[in-house]
Structure 1
Amino acid sequence: MLDFRPVLLVNGILLVTLAAAMVLPAAVDLAVGNPDWRVFAAAAALTLFVGAMLALSNWARADALTVRQAFVMTTTTWCLLPAFAALPLAFSDLNLSYTDAFFEAMSGITTTGSTVIVGLDYAPPGILLWRSLLQWLGGVGIIVMAVSVLPMLQVGGMQLFRMEFAERVEKALPRAAQIGAWIAIIYLLLTLLCAALYWWAGMSGFDAINHAMTTVATGGFSTYDSSVGLFGSAKIEWIATVFMILGSLPFLLYLQALRGSPGALFRDSQVRWFFGFLLTATAIMIVYLVIEKNWTIADAVRFTSFNVTSVMTGTGYATQDFGSWGAFAMPLFFLLMFIGGCAGSTTCGIKIFRFQVLYATAKVQMRRLLRPHGVFIAYYNRKPIPESVEESVMSFFFLFMMIFALLACALGLMGLDFVTATSGAATAISNVGPGLGEVIGPAGTFASLPDQAKWLLSLGMLLGRLEIFTVLILLAPSFWRG
């Protein structure tokens, strides 16, 4: 029988961490005299109590998590945290239902960026900070904390690290705790640098901190309904573009660069493919806007670079309603939603390395058709791709597209129009944020959707963030039989 004590222990520790994070928005609201500080204090007390009880009642020595325990722990963590993170949102002056609050919390922790809140310009500062903190922790931080804390508790955590980053990577350091600590430091430094540049570019200190957290996390929550477009600043948009890209690159390569291999980023084929996708899509859109829409080159470069980067990396910021850019823009942005960034980054989506594996496999298959008796091997980063990896990637593509289709059909059955249903399904499973169309596009929110649709989209966000298999495997009877 599966031993749940290590799973409950880790969940308890992470709830205690979440409770500690609630103290920050409570302090901000208290400082400005907003009564919502009591809501954060009460939610923190309840979360701390539950987390402490789970941790203390399951405090048992375990040398390592089994694979089955790691699967259960990963899924339950990403379900339990938004359930408690939603409490301040549900009981604040925003008057959100628990459905809306859970949707917002799941969107934050999974760094999706979809929102149901209207009137962010007038929302309490504690709520705004809490939304940004959820995305910042969800990006890398809260998983890194688990990876760092587990070894100290004699509970192995490398399985969770591998599930979160969705690929087997070379261990840059001998222990998961060391890897987690270094990634946390890099993540924090990037956030501080981004905040400093935002402040230099004209943002207030509060806005700079909030936007820096959601930029590096490629989450996309803003402190304003108009998102980054409110500032109307080219400086801010270019800073955001740079840090969205930095958040989309593998953090382990940053670690290797700091440890004496500065060329690691440029040698990695995944990074080169990422820039290839990004630059190609940007160039195509610039040419389209200049020729077909008579935009100036300067405006086309500025707005296209920002919005293409935002959608492809799954950040979800917007400076304009790109749905109104013409008939060609809609399908291009729709396709960009699925791509994502590099594995080992804060982005979601299909991810670049899977496209590389699929391309290499298809290329080999074409050669075999021409020369049936030839021996051809698919390569990734100059190394042969194991057959098991090829099968895994193709299985992922199949499940990803099947779940997207099911989500879109289910949303259509709930009465949503075609554009809203298909783009809503895409933005949920790819963790992008805004969809397309007038309802959930860059200029809209998800507030008007029925509650059933919000719960379904929350499930889509969870599946997309946890790479689908991590959740679906729990539905297999053989998993529980061991």
Structure 2
Amino acid sequence: MLNWKQDARLLSSILMVFTLVMSIPTAIAWSSREHDAFRGFLWAMFTALVLAALLYHISLSASSRKLGTRDGYILVTTTWLLVTAIGAIPLRASGAFPTYTAAYFEIMSGFSTTGASVIPVHDAIPSSIHFWRSATNWLGGMGIIVLFVALVPVMGSGGAKLVGAEFVGPTKDKLTPKIRNTALSLWLIYVGLSVLQAILLLAGGIPLYDAATITFSTMSAAGFSPYAGGVSFFSSRYVLVIVIIFMFLSGVNFALFFKALMGQGKLAIRDKELRTYGIITLVVATAGGISLAFSGMYDIGESFFQSLFQTVSFISTTGFVTADYQTWPAFNQMLLFILIFIGGCAGSAAGGIKVMRIMTMARLAKVHMRQRLHPNGVFPVHVGTKILSPEVTRGVSAYFGIYFTTALAGILVISLTGVDFETAVSSVLTCLSNVGIGFGQVGPKGSFAMFPPWAHWVFSFLILAGRLEFFTVFTVFTRDFWKR
């Protein structure tokens, strides 16, 4: 049974933290004399505070009963919907976005680290709004709820229920005995890597504002940029190399960074998923570079660099671009299309199906074939040295089923907008995998602006479902969830 009043109290606290975070772009709007954006941020903060006060009033007689699994699902889903609704207010109030629907889609894309955009002209957007877009990337990269649990004490095992509902994955690493310490450790690592990237960008002559926005979108594996050309706007090979390195790191399981800091570097390097992630990146980048070199589009060095950048951008689901890859050979485009499905490692900021799930399904297929040859044999499913429990393998199989079922349904619905087949398929898959860029009209030179408003709501739902890896969102809509 849901503990509604306790849920209301936690949601009130989350909104208070969210209000504090929003004060930063509010200050930027004030200092930049962007009056419409400033008023928009004030309205958003006022709305959050009023809702927080109402929810706290409702929760005054809340029981001390611990949060259950259902509370975690409903609270995480509601939080993401609510902070997106409030976070979209400044975008619409500033006049930068024509409708609230477009603003909602943009912020949902930001918090989910998808990076898909409806902005037709970047120059017309106030600097504070661009900063807020990039900041939502960074906040969503490690998770809104994970940040809340790291900052605010949550009763009993409630923190674990909340983190488990948001930080979904095929396997979970418990870094410390207390979930709050785990959440804090993950965020400190995330902040540390972000600071390091920002310092390296500043060392390359990049202004502080640009270094911050690039870092926000890189470490979160998101891809928003204040400029139409993205990171290629700076025309700096140094900047692109730094971005490649940190895009790749954003797709690595953050638990491995923790292990490395704890003196277990060799154990982290031997991680089977990390090695597979690196091998896939290297093989695809090399194959793509060879193909580009033979096509004659670039010289050999540029061919491999462009292939490496786009490979890392796609597999980490960051979505930065440095070239119009839709003019590349079909072989290169197919390689990038496959990466939309794979994504980064479990426990990373990246989206996609995740390398661990791909490895698990491959292992399951191998075990099934051996089982058919030896019906009485017992063959455990293991990835590297880790034997996976039946619960994990069932969860992985269910994930694949729900991913492709949702994708097919989404493609069918979006096809009603009248877009071509390539755009319909690519737009849905890039939203589900939180990549942000795709093919057709949502390629490197396109955006989601040409879709009708109702389609933006569909995409927003697909983005949220993909970010929370389906089960948290879809479970709320089942009959069993609401049974007493």
What letter matches 2:31 in structure 1? A
Matches within 5 A, 1:464-479: 464-479=466-481
Residue 332 (1) aligns with residue 299 (2): no
Gaps of at least 5 residues in structure 2 are: none
1:256-293 deviation digits (Å, cap 9, x = unpaired): 22122122321211111111211111111111111133
Residue equivalent to 2:461 = 459
Q: Which residue identity lines up with residue 24 of structure 2 in the other structure?
A: L
Match among 100, 103, 124 for residue 101 of structure 1: 103
Aligned to 2:372: 369
**Paired position in structure 2 for 1:53:** 54
> Partner amino acid for 2:395?
S
Aligned to 1:125: 127
Correspondence for 2:77: 75
Asked if 1:390 is matched to 2:393, the reply is yes
Q: 1:450 corresponds to which residue?
A: 452
Match of 2:324 among 297, 307, 321: 321
CA shift at 1:327, angstroms? 2.0
- Contact 1:194–1:212 (CA under 8 A) maintained in structure 2: yes
Bigger mean CA deviation after superposition, 370-379 or 169-178: 370-379
CA contact (8 A) 1:61 1:153 kept: no
Q: CA deviation at 1:61?
A: 5.5
Deviation at 1:389, TM superposition (A): 1.7
| TM value normalised by structure 2 | 0.95
Q: Which amino acid aligns with 1:43?
A: A
Q: Who is 2:142 aligned against?
A: 140
State the match for 1:429 in structure 2: 432
Residues 225 and 365 of structure 1: CA distance in aligned 2, closer, same or farther (over 3 Å): same
Cα distance in 1 for partners of 2:64, 2:149 equals: 15
1:295 Cα offset (Å): 2.5
Q: Which runs of 5+ in 1 are unaligned?
A: none
1:12 offset after TM fit, Å? Answer: 1.9
Deviations 1:289-338 (A, max 9, x none): 11133521210121111111111111111111111112223322221111
Distance, in Å, in 2 between the alignment partners of 1:160 and 1:153 is: 11
In 2, distance between residues paired with 1:479 and 1:33?
Answer: 48
Structure-1 separation of matches of 2:287 and 2:400 = 26
Say whether residues 1:269 and 2:279 are aligned partners. Answer: no
Q: CA 1:359/1:155 → structure 2, altered by over 3 Å: closer, same or farther?
A: closer
Shift of 1:344: 0.9
Count of residue correspondences = 481
Distance in 2 (CA, whole Å) between partners of 1:350 and 1:11 is 29
**Cα offset for 1:399?**
0.9
Q: Name the CA distance, whole Å, in 1 between partners of 2:157 and 2:367.
A: 42
1:211 aligns with 2:211: no
How far is 1:122 from its partner? 4.1
Tell me if structure 1 keeps the 8 A contact 2:138–2:220.
yes
What is the letter of the counterpart of residue 229 of structure 1?
A: S
Tell me if structure 2 keeps the 8 A contact 1:271–1:342. Answer: yes
2:48, 2:24 → 1: CA distance? 15
2:251 to 222, 229, 248: 248
CA change 1:56–1:415 in 2 (3 A) is same
The partner residue of 2:418 within 393, 415, 421 is 415
Match of 1:30 in 2: 30
Which residue is 1:5 aligned to?
5
Q: Is the 8 A contact 1:13 1:52 kept in 2?
A: no
Contact 1:62 1:155 in 2 (8 A): no
Instruction: Give CA deviations for 1:64-114 in whole Å, capped at 9, x if unaligned.
Output: 321111111121111111111101111113143010000001000000000
After TM superposition, the structure 1 stretch with the greater mean CA deviation from structure 2, 150-159 or 2-11, is 150-159
Query: Could you tell me how far apart the structure 2 residues matched to 1:187 and 1:126 are?
Result: 23
Q: Secondary structure at the match of 1:263?
A: helix
Alpha-carbon offset, residue 435 of structure 1: 1.9
Choose 422-431 or 308-317, whichever is displaced more. Answer: 308-317
The percentage of aligned residue pairs carrying the same residue is: 34
1:342 aligns with 2:345: yes
Q: Which residue, out of 85, 91, 94, partners 1:92?
A: 94
What is the alpha-carbon distance in structure 1 between the residues aligned to residue 176 and residue 446 of structure 2?
45
> Is residue 116 from structure 1 mapped to residue 118 from structure 2 by the alignment?
yes
Q: Is the 8 A contact 1:217 1:346 kept in 2?
A: yes
Q: Pick which of 371-380 and 358-367 moved more.
A: 371-380
Cα pair 2:321 2:444 within 8 Å, conserved? yes
Residue 379 of structure 1: how far off its partner (Å): 0.8
Q: What is the alpha-carbon root mean square deviation over aligned residues?
A: 1.7
The change in CA–CA distance for 1:268 and 1:471 in structure 2 (over 3 A counts) is: same
Within 5 Å, give how 1:145-160 maps onto structure 2: 145-149=147-151, 151-154=153-156, 156-160=158-162
Of 211, 223, 235, the residue aligned with 2:226 is 223
Is the 8 Å Cα contact of residues 150 and 156 (structure 1) preserved in structure 2?
no
C-alpha separation in 2, matches of 1:153 and 1:55: 16
Distance 1:168 1:375 in 2: 23
After superposition, what is the alpha-carbon deviation per residue over 1:22-48, rounded to whole angstroms, capped at 9, x for unaligned? 211111121122212122122212212
